[in-house]
Amino acid sequence: MNTIGTELIKTNNMYLKQKYIITSNKVIIVFPELLQHSEFKHFNPTSAGFISFGVNKEGNPSCSCYGESISLGLVSNPEEDTKIAKKQLNMLDEY
C-alpha cells in the first residue's frame, strides 16, 4: 500500500523510510532504506540522507530532507537538498 501524504511507504506490512542522494549534477535519487547509500556511489553523490514525504498546510505534496549517510560518510544539506527535491518532484510549495 503506497500513499501520498505519509512519511512512510507500507510494503508487505512493513514501513520503510526513504533514503536519497544528491548527485554532483544536482539530481536527487530516492530509494528504499533496504538499500545502502554506498550502492549509489558511482553517481558521485555530494550529500545524502533521508527524505520524508507529507502534505503542506495548503494540502499540496511536500518533502523534507535530513540526516546523513554512514556508508558514504556524507551529511545532508537539509535546506538545499529539500529545495532540489521539491523542484525535481514538481512540488507546488515554494522552492
Residue span of the structural domain in which 63 resides: 9-88
93 within some domain:
no
- Given a cut of 70, whether residue 50 has pLDDT beyond it is yes
For the chain, what is the HEC assignment? CCCCCCCCEEECCEEECEEEEECCCCCEEEEECCCCHHHHHHHCCCEEEEEEEEECCCCCEEEEEECEECCCCEECCHHHHHHHHHHHCCCCCCC
pTM: 0.80
Instruction: Encode pLDDT of 76-88 as tens digits.
Output: 999 999 999 999 9
2 within some domain:
no
1-5, 43-47, 87-91: range with lowest mean pLDDT: 1-5
76 within some domain:
yes
